Amino acid sequence: MKLYSDSITDGQPIPSEFAFCVPDPESHVRLGANRNPHLAWSDLPAGTQSLVFICHDSDVPSRSDDVNQEGRRVPADLPRVDFTHWVLVDLKPDRNGIAAGEFCSEVTARGKPGLEGRDGIRHGINGYTDWFAGDDQMAGDYYGYDGPCPPWNDSIIHHYHFTLYALDLPRCPVEGRFDREQVLSAIQGHILAQASIVGTYKINPDVKGVELGGLDLSRVRARAVRSDGFDACRHREH
């Protein structure tokens, strides 16, 4: 099974039009266009009855103490956890791709609905649901795609894993309000094949270096799946 994108080159920076926030020289960050990227696939395995698509960031700080704090920097050696950016289930196998901006084309404050879409496609909640909880201006259930927004003072480049799963199930066995962890648990034992591409993104202009050059992509993609994390384009006042 093959996964490819006209929007993202595997191992290279994600264009800013697909990001939740972008660098700003005066305020560190500002909101971005937040369009979902184009994705397409081919060579599905025999017996595929539905597809699941998930995007996550594997480089989110495990503690928020230094995140987006003036005069401080998130250390490179801080343990990292996962943050979900997109959960999409019940894609039919005769569908061969997702158009850029098809499901998301802006930042929507206070979340967005996850009702069943055309062709029975369902969206799960992403990590911004937890991150913005308690923020009067942004709190809500964030369904579907919301793009990269790593801390503006992080010391490392973030890696975003776009993964397609081919299932032997006609419908993903999750109901109601579901997240990435619930989907991954529900599809265990039903995955016929999976394919992924990895894009990178950063806000901090001081972070230098080749994006994935010299790194073992298989190790990057094999980062353990964890449920908590912090990844937002601004610091919340509590």
Band (pLDDT 50/70/90 cuts) for residue 112 is confident
pLDDT at 228 > cutoff 50: no
The model's pLDDT over 146-170, given as tens digits with 9 standing for 90+, comes to 999 999 999 999 999 999 999 999 9
Q: Are the beta carbons of 224 and 195 closer than 8 angstroms?
A: no
> What residues make up the domain containing 76?
2-221
Nearest to 134 by CA among 232, 23, 20: 232
**Within-domain flag for 232:** no
pLDDT at 222 > cutoff 70: no
**Within-domain flag for 139:** yes
**Within-domain flag for 127:** yes
Alpha-carbon distance of 64 to 67, in angstroms, equals: 5
Band (pLDDT 50/70/90 cuts) for residue 209 is low
pLDDT at 113 > cutoff 90: no
Q: What is the model's pLDDT at position 189?
A: 97
Q: Enumerate residues 6+ apart whose C-beta is below 8 A from 54.
A: 84, 86, 87, 88, 161, 162, 163, 165, 180, 183, 184
Of residues 192 and 207, which shows the higher confidence score?
192
> b vs e for 149-187, b when ≥16 Cβ sit within 10 Å of the residue's Cβ?
bbbbbbbbbbbbbbbbbbbebeebebeeebbbebbbebb
Band (pLDDT 50/70/90 cuts) for residue 118 is confident
- Strands of the sheet containing 122-123, edge to edge, are 122-123, 80-91, 50-61, 158-167, 191-201
**Within-domain flag for 236:** no
Band (pLDDT 50/70/90 cuts) for residue 115 is low
What sign for the dihedral angle of Cα 45, 161, 39, 92?
positive
Residue 168: CATH number of its domain: 3.90.280.10
**Within-domain flag for 136:** yes
What sign for the dihedral angle of Cα 195, 166, 223, 81?
positive
Q: What is the model's pLDDT at position 195?
A: 98
**What is the DSSP code string of 194-224?**
EEEEEEEE---TT--S-SSTTS-HHHHHTPP
pLDDT at 181 > cutoff 90: yes
**Within-domain flag for 233:** no
Band (pLDDT 50/70/90 cuts) for residue 46 is very high
**Within-domain flag for 230:** no
* Domain count along the chain: 1
Whole-model pTM? 0.87
**Within-domain flag for 118:** yes
Alpha-carbon distance of 168 to 162, in angstroms, equals: 20
